[in-house]
Structure 1
């Protein structure tokens, strides 16, 4: 399936652009929705893990690359999706999880992580060494970033030889703030064309000098800023005219496309235009768990209406958890107590996604499931709380199935954009 990714640039140059959704989430219900859609529609499915989410120490999911890969492939099998249709990607692989350590130590750990990803069967590898470590200057120049990326590529190539694969690479570093900005935004400037050219040229030069010309030939994309972003309360939509000089760079790079990060909450039209213009890899993460939370909270309200003793148990539990453990949101949410209360539940940045794995959260979702089990949701309540999917909900549908419908709606939007750009 890596051949599909390598064909994205050729498809664009032939005037028949196609895209692929890059699902960046470890939540089982999001993955189940992703694979269910893949089973219905066919074609490749791309699922990615980030360096903070999954690494040799477990990351915030507690999963190593091999464990994450095993989970995804088991879900694929249960969904009737062939393993050969699943592309596993590693996102932002580099020293970021250990950036508070000296560069020598952080990069040594990044070496181990990259090898673990490749040996676990990840074949799309985004190498990102742009983060300054404890003994680095605050900003790293292109040369240092490229040298560190080449070092990681050499590790990846050796691991690939050990397991008999040939991974494709994504390089480049100018990306939106991970998880969204923490303030309102009006316009986000795309990467300048000259800056993109310089980044590509520097990486090409460094890779060739390091004896990695074959690896660079398998580089399919560079990460740049297309001018999209989301904050806690607003979304900056894609504006093709602002990115025209940037996308023109691809006219002189026959084998490359750009990868678009933080495409969450973009309109279908904007997603289609991104694919058309040369950003056929559309990464989405918080937008999917935001939809999941919408579905679960809607069912939480329905359970409260059907059982007065239930009293919005899920929403109350999640807010309490986040207040007890503020580390994953405190630097992202700002304002008055009321502002923060709303952001805890409803922010586009969706920092709540870090809390679904807590035992208290798991128990709260189970209580919601138990409360609604065997109950028929009246159509009037479905109409009130389930919005766009109300007419599709059957009397026997489970909490998990209804929540997956919310996620599936978002994924279907991406799927249409990826198919109709040409």
Structure 2
């Protein structure tokens, strides 16, 4: 993995020169999503940016059980299998800071965050989003902007020391934290705040000062993106699409910052024209995660119905029933996010845009249920009438001969539809 600095600097330079272009940031650790992403990149001869979050992957394992080094090995193994060239692969770390340990005092939480970012930098991750915005156990409820910037600079110093030891490529940095809640909003989407231009510029200036105080001017020169809220969001059943007219002043502020582009989080489920407008307006890094696993879940549930028709077996639990059992047994990753009556919660567990079911696919019982489904279907070609009935969004492509109608290829194709939407939006 080489040249991340040049690639992102090139995106910023093109934007400053009035040209379009950007990159999608794939935020997922699901093996099928990673496979689909790398196959898509190989087919299009494109760079691929894959990011892991602080809760998902960290030096203690995260909820995937993977350290940064293990995640890199996992992605590179998939790249080898799909024929994707390593020199076009960019690995990133998202929301790197004390968030997983915010229940601890700040000093202890920041020590753990430092160990985490050391692990990311040492493992060759070259795009690092510094996010120290969250209050820890002994902090005030809302941290001062100066404190956030100072803590971010402390973590950048750790990353710089790690790459100095290893001799690996120096990373680029993303600063700023004004983003939606990871995984979607918790509240009703009846309003959406767009970042004030002055706040975005203040974020840049305070981080610049904090880096300079630690002698990190060269590192700050590699800061390439500022996270802002352009006015996009999704909830359990709602989507707020990008409205360019609401972000006009924010977009104008970028003109004074040729070093930077904006990074937009929670762009999942945006209409194609909204994604293209975001890139046109300088939101050149588009984060996507839940939409990819939502598309995968759609295909998995469709295949479960197809298996019942093609290979009926009363002893085989449907995938929906299996996932319902698994999620009810361990409600921690969905319960506080899904309000309403028991019936409303049941629907959200499986069909919410927030897609909190994605936290359960790595569990052994979920893996066994998925493997049983795919084993029942095997490599047989699925008849078109069943694809039309249960996977209608893929029927036209199957009919045109562009998708082989086997279970595995249909899963990959469902994810690829989302990736195609982002490619069309981000190509120069």
State the TM-score, normalized to the length of structure 2: 0.96
The equivalent of 2:106 in structure 1 is: 103
User: Is the 8 Å Cα contact of residues 187 and 227 (structure 1) preserved in structure 2?
Assistant: no
CA distance in 2, matches of 1:15, 1:262: 25
User: Is the 8 Å Cα contact of residues 99 and 106 (structure 1) preserved in structure 2?
Assistant: yes
**1:33-81, Cα deviation, whole Å (9 max, x unpaired):** 0000001001210000000000011000000000000110111111111
Are residues 406 and 111 of structure 1, via their aligned partners in 2, closer, same or farther at CA, if it must alter by over 3 Å? same
The equivalent of 1:87 in structure 2 is: 90
User: Is the 8 Å Cα contact of residues 314 and 364 (structure 1) preserved in structure 2?
Assistant: yes
Query: Which SS does the other structure have where 2:286 is aligned?
Result: strand
The equivalent of 2:199 in structure 1 is: 195
The equivalent of 1:401 in structure 2 is: 409
**2:328 is equivalent to residue 336 of structure 1:** no
- CA offset at residue 375 of structure 1? 4.1
User: Is the 8 Å Cα contact of residues 303 and 312 (structure 1) preserved in structure 2?
Assistant: no
- CA offset at residue 108 of structure 1? 0.4
User: Is the 8 Å Cα contact of residues 374 and 396 (structure 1) preserved in structure 2?
Assistant: no
CA distance in 2, matches of 1:77, 1:90: 21
CA distance in 2, matches of 1:413, 1:312: 34
**2:218 is equivalent to residue 214 of structure 1:** yes
200-209 vs 284-293, greater mean Cα deviation = 200-209
Correspondence for 1:117 among 116, 120, 138: 120
The equivalent of 1:412 in structure 2 is: 420
CA distance in 2, matches of 1:23, 1:239: 23
Alignment of 1:13-162 (within 5 A): 13-162=16-165
- CA offset at residue 209 of structure 1? 1.6
- CA offset at residue 308 of structure 1? 3.7
- CA offset at residue 312 of structure 1? 6.0
Are residues 309 and 239 of structure 1, via their aligned partners in 2, closer, same or farther at CA, if it must alter by over 3 Å? same
- Gaps of at least 5 residues in structure 2 are none
Query: Which SS does the other structure have where 1:61 is aligned?
Result: coil
Alignment of 1:345-356 (within 5 A): 345-356=350-361
CA distance in 2, matches of 1:181, 1:262: 9
Correspondence for 1:278 among 278, 282, 287: 282
Query: Which SS does the other structure have where 1:232 is aligned?
Result: coil
- CA offset at residue 227 of structure 1? 0.5
- Gaps of at least 5 residues in structure 1 are none
**1:244-300, Cα deviation, whole Å (9 max, x unpaired):** 111111100111111000000001100001001010100000010000000101111
Count of matched residue pairs = 420
State the TM-score, normalized to the length of structure 1: 0.97
Query: Which SS does the other structure have where 1:370 is aligned?
Result: helix
**2:12 is equivalent to residue 9 of structure 1:** yes
CA distance in 2, matches of 1:266, 1:155: 36
Query: Which SS does the other structure have where 1:60 is aligned?
Result: coil
